[in-house]
Structure 1
Amino acid sequence: MPRTPSSPALLAGLLAAVGAAHVVAPKPFDAIVPRVLPGRPRTWTYASGAVELAVAAGVAHPRTRRAAALAAAALFVGVFPANVQMALDARHRSPVWRAVVIGRLPLQVPLVLWARSVSRGHAAR
């Protein structure tokens, strides 16, 4: 089985970039908020962006890295329904777009494994 990358700085950077994107350009994220969630999609978009930014800061700091990386793993699992919603909404889009969004679904697994690896303190080699 191939090794999962475990760079804390790279994980923190990914989380920070996605969290910032939720705030700077929220519209695409609003569109994938599962409809079963109560309230306005924008509220969920901003809340998830804030969580991603907080988790990124935690992963970046050695004293909070373990807990924050575990939170990142949970976050990657928690946003999976939004990715499923995106795939469902792609039914009426181009075949290329459908392939992209469906292909994204299994990518959550290596993200979860990466975050767990960072939580264990494995250094990237």
Structure 2
Amino acid sequence: MEPLITLVVVAGFTLAVNALWLRRARSLELALRAGLCAMFLLTGTVHFVGMRAELIVMVPSGLPRPELLVTASGVLELAGALGVLAPRLVPWAGLGLSALLVAVFPANVAWALSEPALPWWDQLLPRTVTQVLFLAATLTLVRLTWCRPIRRGGLSCQSRSVAPGQAGPPQHRPDHSRRHPRTRRLTKMAEAQCNNRAQFPGSVPLADQEGVEVEGE
């Protein structure tokens, strides 16, 4: 329950501060980054102090080296918490934390089924709902930050795509204004010939119709 409270309180506080004072864009992203960072700093720390013995007992008996597994998961949670603070690492940290939530879920299920005297928030259904909420938060953060431009001034994935019915980026058209008059005339005749063939297949090319005039210039 403490991780969920931490996530909700820190994310809500970040949203309020941003709305009242900071007024920065991507308020949901900032709130999720702050909330997930605080939550995984808390859960990663208790892998080493406070609840380490309880977490070691929660590891399923079929897995070897439970102490090492608890240590490794704690290190990964702390690394993910710090990763969501770095703009370039946010999507990758979100993916890593999502995978970690999925990996440790069987241990939570085994613990909830083997201990009948657990408080209501640690029983199977509440714990499953809480885990789904955590996973939704990490995946939402990945979705919000996945197409972030790497270099300053670059375009994101969304800005590169053009929706149906919208005008795409302006196409470069060659400038014929500085060419020789005869070259400009031949270029215009070639463009007209292409248009004529596209509209009227099998028609006589313009170059054959005006061949004498062109050769006489």
Task: In structure 2, list runs of 5 or more residues that go unmatched.
Answer: 1-27, 146-217
Determine whether 1:61 maps to 2:86. Answer: yes
Give RMSD over aligned pairs.
1.6
The structure with more helix, counted as a fraction of residues:
1
User: Offset at 1:55?
Assistant: 0.9
Pairing of 1:5-20 with structure 2 (within 5 A): 7-20=32-45
Structure 1 residues 98 and 10, CA gap change in structure 2 (3 angstroms): closer
Partner of 2:135: 112
CA–CA distance in 2 between the matches of 1:19 and 1:46? 9
CA–CA distance in 2 between the matches of 1:27 and 1:89? 16
Query: What amino acid is aligned across from residue 80 of structure 2 in structure 1?
Result: V
User: Offset at 1:77?
Assistant: 0.8
The structure with the larger Rg is 2
How many aligned positions are there? Answer: 113
Identity of aligned residues (%): 34
Determine whether 1:74 maps to 2:95. Answer: no
CA–CA distance in 2 between the matches of 1:70 and 1:14? 16
Determine whether 1:29 maps to 2:29. Answer: no
User: Offset at 1:99?
Assistant: 3.4
Query: What amino acid is aligned across from residue 27 of structure 1 in structure 2?
Result: A
Query: What amino acid is aligned across from residue 104 of structure 1 in structure 2?
Result: R
Q: 3-state SS of the aligned residue for 1:60?
A: coil
4+ runs of 1 displaced by more than 6 Å?
Answer: none
Q: Deviations over 1:66-125 (max 9, x none)?
A: 01001111111111011112112213x2xxx26332221222111111101111227xxx
CA–CA distance in 1 between the matches of 2:35 and 2:119? 28
TM-score, length basis structure 1 = 0.82
Q: 3-state SS of the aligned residue for 2:84?
A: helix
Task: In structure 1, list runs of 5 or more residues that go unmatched.
Answer: none
TM-score, length basis structure 2 = 0.49
Partner of 1:48: 73
Partner of 2:183: none
